[in-house]
Chains A and B, each alone.
Chain A
Amino acid sequence: MLLKDDRQISGEGAVGSSPNAKRRKRVSDYNNSPVSPQQNAEGEMEKDLSGQSSDVQKEPDEKKPITEQNPGSNFRGKQTGKQGKNASSADGFKENYIHVRARRGQATNSHSLAERVRREKISERMRLLQELVPGCNKITGKAVMLDEIINYVQSLQQQVEFLSMKLATVNPEQNVDIEQILSKDIINSRSDTRAILGFVPGSSSSHRFHRGTFQGTLPSISSTTPKYPLLPQTVLDNELHGLFQVGFDSCPAVDNLGSNGHFKPEL
């Protein structure tokens, strides 16, 4: 009976990793926490993925070194060592136990695979997002990353609102040449998002300010955003550096506008 308990305990650690009702019902009295559930789960998962019930017999042998590592259960490790030899001989006795494990592996095989694939996909997308959102290279962890993403999207939307307000209040110049502006625009706005990040604190504070006292801020829109006129400078500086590298990229685009020869002297 003692042997059986040890076997159960050695396999018990895997319970925490997957919710299988059958596995939980098997456990009777269980005080000790023999192994870290992750290690067991790893071993279990490997076995699940690699083979079916034929590999099950190897499982106790594999679990043996894992249980021995645990400081709290040294003598149990020795006991499982004994069991390892007995495993093959006492197959019939432990048949029902192994059967449960196999069934568990089979039942959750597709589940675990699908979950693992899903998790892989999600982590891959999170990595993509990490590259998109500036300043998130050092962040590891989904929760913090999601917070950053949410903040970034909110700040972008706030910027859109602020800029649309600015565009609404500006006086239209009748002599604007659309093509010229577009060409300047496309070349100029190729900067990195660092410029935008510098803009954000100014925008959020002044935006709140605008909502409160709109009449008073109409003349002072330019004054409350001191960073704002600075941005084109940084944009142009970055632009000049990046222009020579990506000039050949923008050429096909600029050719469409027909102002290929113009932008360089303008800058």
Chain B
Amino acid sequence: MISKGATWNSNSCRIKFARRFVSALLHMRNRNTRPGSLTIEGVRTHTQRIKIAAYLSMAQAVGSRRAWSRAVLSKHGSRARRHSRMGRSSVGLKKTRVIRSYPPGELGQAKKLRQLVPGGKTMDMCSLLEETAHYIKCLATQVKVMQTLADNFSK
């Protein structure tokens, strides 16, 4: 089932993400002059920033092809807003689509899934499942890359 095309796509996704993430990490490290590295709050803030950088670099690696990546980019990156020329401005969409009756039949689980997947609140069930599939794939690669990074850094 996994054809060459699929592995090539996932590999390029992984490479792009790895590059961006590592450069973001280095950038953050250079910026952080390490006074508060041992305080709890300092580490917590640093953790939050790293987490956001991870999601952002993943979304940037994916680009604007996917609805969830667009949602992440519009939520976090100001650079991305200037770049993204796609017709979707999620702010406007949110205003018009906030009052949306969820389609019946799936109940609480679809609601939870919408909360988990970024940008899932304004999606119908069909596209929600599709976005979830892609999001899971990218999350898995993200976790793998971060894991090996942490391993390499802590050796």
Complexed CA–CA distance, A188 and B151 (Å): 11
Q: Is the CB of A168 within 8 A of B109?
A: no
CB proximity to B under 8 Å, residues A83-133: 118, 121-122, 125-126, 128-129, 131-133
Q: Is the CB of A166 within 8 A of B132?
A: no
Q: Is the CB of A153 within 8 A of B132?
A: yes
Q: Is the CB of A161 within 8 A of B51?
A: yes
- Residue B91 at the A interface, CB < 8 A? no
Q: Is the CB of A150 within 8 A of B109?
A: yes
| Interface residues in A, total, Cβ within 8 A | 61
Residues on A with beta carbons closer than 8 Å to the beta carbon of B146: 160, 163-164, 167
Residues on B with beta carbons closer than 8 Å to the beta carbon of A154: 116
Q: Is the CB of B154 within 8 A of A166?
A: yes
Residues on B with beta carbons closer than 8 Å to the beta carbon of A185: 18, 145, 148-149, 152
Q: Is the CB of B136 within 8 A of A129?
A: yes
**How far in angstroms is the closest Cβ of chain A from B134?**
9
Q: Is the CB of B129 within 8 A of A169?
A: no
| Interface residues in B, total, Cβ within 8 A | 55
Complexed CA–CA distance, A235 and B150 (Å): 14
Secondary structure class of chain A's binding surface, majority of residues: helix
CB proximity to A under 8 Å, residues B82-122: 106, 109-110, 112-113, 116-117
Residue ranges of A at the interface with B (Cβ–Cβ < 8 Å) = 118, 121-122, 125-126, 128-129, 131-133, 142-143, 146-147, 149-150, 152-154, 156-157, 159-161, 163-173, 176, 178, 181-182, 184-186, 188-191, 193, 196, 199, 214-215, 222, 231-232, 235, 246, 249-250, 252-253, 256
Smallest CB-CB A-B distances: 6 pairs:
A125-B129, A189-B144, A164-B50, A146-B109, A164-B51, A163-B146
| Pairs A–B under 8 Å by Cβ, sample size 10 | A129-B129, A153-B117, A167-B25, A178-B26, A188-B148, A189-B14, A189-B148, A193-B140, A196-B147, A199-B147
